[in-house]
Amino acid sequence: MNLSTRERLNHFYARFNGDDHVLIAINADPDAIASAMAVKRLLWRKAASVTIGHVNVIKRPDNLAMVRLLGVKMFHMYTIDPIRYNRFVMVDSQPNHHELLASIRPDVLIDHHPDTGVEAPFRDIRPTYGATATILTEYLKAAKIKPSGKLATGLFLAIKIDTSNFERQTQIEDVRAFQHVFKYANIALVRRIEQAELQRDFLKYFQKALAEKRFRKDRVFVHLGQVVNPDVCVLIADFFMRLESVTWSIVSGFYNKKLIIIFRNDGIRKNAGKVVRNMFCALGAAGGHKSAARAEIPVDALRGIENPADDKKVLNWLIRDFEKKMMPASRRTTKK
């Protein structure tokens, strides 16, 4: 049954009353943070209290800048007593996305990731949308709420980042939502948040990447060894995609007893998400979008690497495995 946004909003509001204490649970990234801000605004004066709880440790400089500059008040889920709350909202995630989310039975579930089949009294899951923030922007418009400058800035960033500047999975609804919040967003704040990507500690990894990169035709491979933050792999993978001749950028590093592998491609020939799932789903978590994907493999599950502590051997393994999987099936078949 296709419902209008106004009808969806009415069903959303029907889940709450003025005595409710609401916990919004998120895996904090720009889309989740902005969506939680929007839910909190929608519930202003419609619930007794609204708290935002995040399950992850926020380390990326741009995400930290977003929380600080937009004045987002959040608490780690470890510090929250769920008994204090009688209503639970989950945005931009579903319970099986994180072990701390798995213990929550949401009353409201709003997401743009593929539906995992989790039941909730109110569900609005739209996998074709580029960002959950787009859905919440539609709710704000239906509620005739003009977003504050900080809320609009958060939604602006969320849509911009999750659609990769409208280069990956994007619907006309994402464009319309972006146009709407653009009118109210503080572009100076946007610029300050976007420019906060790099930490001084990251520079040594760029130095290592430039010194030890391997090119295979139009593909670049980098292994960084142990990293202080897996986001540095993302930054370096994005950096190499700026080279004119590069169509694939694959960057890996060890973090928290896992091999983190970041994949970027031009989104023209191959679907990065499908490639990564085919390569690594049997070893760990793997998936993504057409032009961006990620794999996280526990060290104990690594196969084919003689010595994971040897950066060159890890890089050789990654190149060999990737190129084998990318080879046409006719060439992979050994003739007898």
Tally of structural domains, the chain: 2
Confirm whether 336 is domain-assigned: no
3-class secondary-structure state, position 217: coil
According to DSSP, residue 186 is labeled -
**Domain boundary at 170, 194, 218, which?**
194
DSSP assignment of 113-133 equals: SPP-----SEEEE-TTSS-HH
Residues 155 and 189 in one domain: yes
Domain limit, last residue, from 194, 218, 249: 194
DSSP state letter for 278: H
Q: Is residue 284 part of a domain?
A: yes
Are 47 and 179 in the same domain?
yes
In a domain, 295, yes or no: yes
Is the torsion defined by CA of 36, 127, 191, 207 positive or negative? Answer: positive
Tell me the C-alpha distance between 145 and 157, whole Å: 19
pLDDT at residue 261, as a whole number: 94
Q: How far apart are CA 336 and CA 234, in angstroms?
A: 42
Does residue 231 sit in the same domain as residue 135?
no
The span from the CA of 107 to the CA of 124, in Å, is 11
Separation of alpha carbons 224 and 263, rounded Å = 14
Query: What's the confidence (pLDDT) of residue 334?
Result: 45
| CATH code, domain with 48 | 3.90.1640.10
Residue 266 belongs to what domain range? 203-331
* Axis crossing angle, helix 149-162 with helix 132-142, rounded to the nearest 10: 140
Q: What is the pLDDT of residues 156-209, one digit of tens each?
A: 999 999 988 887 778 999 999 999 999 999 999 999 998 876 777 889 999 999
**CATH number of the domain encompassing residue 238:** 3.10.310.40
Q: Do residues 246 and 266 share a domain?
A: yes
Check whether residue 160 and residue 216 sit in a common domain.
no
- Higher pLDDT, residue 306 or 300: 300
Integer Cα distance of 112 and 103 in angstroms: 21
pLDDT digits (tens, 9 = 90+) for 230-272: 889 998 999 999 998 899 999 999 998 899 999 999 877 788 8
CA-to-CA dists, residue 237 to 42, 246, 250, 262, angstroms: 37, 11, 6, 7
Residues 48 and 171 in one domain: yes
Domain end residue (candidates: 166, 194, 222)? 194
Give yes or no: residues 137 and 63 share one domain. Answer: yes
My answer on whether 183 and 75 are in the same domain is: yes
- b/e for 181-210, b at 16 or more Cβ within 10 A? bbebbbeebbebbeebbebeebeebbebbe
Clarify whether residues 254 and 315 are in a common domain: yes
Does one domain contain both 156 and 216? no
Contacts of 31 (CB under 8 A, 6+ apart): 92, 112, 131, 132, 133, 158, 159, 161, 162
Whether residues 142 and 211 fall in one domain: no
pTM over 0.85: no
The answer to whether residues 102 and 21 belong to one domain is yes
